[in-house]
Amino acid sequence: MKKVLRIICLVLAVLLALSVAACGKNAKSTKIFADEDLSEYVTLGKYKGITVDTKSEEYKAAYAQIFKSDVDTNDLYVKKNEGQVALGDIANIDYEGKKDGVAFAGGTASGYDLEIGSHSFIDGFEDGLIGVNIGDTVDLNLTFPNDYGNAELAGAAVVFTVKVNYVKSSDLPDENDIYAELDYKSEKAYKDDLNKRAAISLLINQVVGDSKVESIPEKDIDIFLNAVYDYYNNYYLENNNMSFEQVLKNNSMTVDSFKTQMSSTAEAQLKNTIVSYAILQKEGIKADYELKDKEKVNQDVMDEMTSVENSVRNFIYENAIIK
Number of helices and strands (H, E) in the chain? Answer: 8, 9
Q: How many residues does the chain have?
A: 323
* Residue 104 domain flag: yes
User: Is the pLDDT at 203 greater than 60, yes or no?
Assistant: yes
- Alpha carbons within 13 A on the beta-carbon side of 256: 0
Q: Are residues 233 and 318 in the same domain?
A: yes
Q: Domain boundary at 134, 168, 202, which?
A: 168
Q: What is the pLDDT of residue 26?
A: 32
* Residue 179 domain flag: no
Q: What is the CATH number of the domain that holds 89?
A: 3.10.50.40
Q: Are residues 42 and 91 in the same domain?
A: no
User: Is the pLDDT at 317 greater than 70, yes or no?
Assistant: yes
Q: How many domains does the chain have?
A: 2
Q: How far is CA 142 from the centre of its chain?
A: 30
Q: Are residues 88 and 131 in the same domain?
A: yes
User: Is the pLDDT at 51 greater than 90, yes or no?
Assistant: yes
Q: Are 87 and 116 in contact (CB under 8 A)?
A: yes
Q: Domain boundary at 168, 202, 233, which?
A: 168
* Residue 187 domain flag: no
Q: Are residues 40 and 85 in the same domain?
A: no
Find the domain containing 28 and state its range: 4-47+211-322
User: Is the pLDDT at 10 greater than 80, yes or no?
Assistant: no
d(CA 236, CA 245): 10
pLDDT mean over 181-203: 94
Residue 288 pLDDT level (bands cut at 50, 70, 90): low
User: Is the pLDDT at 314 greater than 90, yes or no?
Assistant: yes
d(CA 196, CA 313): 10
pTM above 0.75, yes or no: no
Q: Are residues 235 and 316 in the same domain?
A: yes
Q: Are residues 303 and 223 in the same domain?
A: yes
* Residue 65 domain flag: no
Query: What's at 292, amino acid-wise?
Result: K
Which run of H or of E encompasses 108? strand 102-115
* Residue 133 domain flag: yes
Residue 170 pLDDT level (bands cut at 50, 70, 90): confident
Q: Are residues 216 and 312 in the same domain?
A: yes
Q: Domain boundary at 168, 197, 223, which?
A: 168
Tell me which residue of 236, 211, 186, 190 sits closest to 67, measured CA to CA: 190
Residue 73 pLDDT level (bands cut at 50, 70, 90): confident
* Residue 203 domain flag: no
Dihedral in degrees, nearest 10, Cα atoms 172, 174, 175, 178: -90
pLDDT mean over 219-224: 86
Q: What is the pLDDT of residue 119?
A: 86
* Residue 33 domain flag: yes
* Residue 238 domain flag: yes
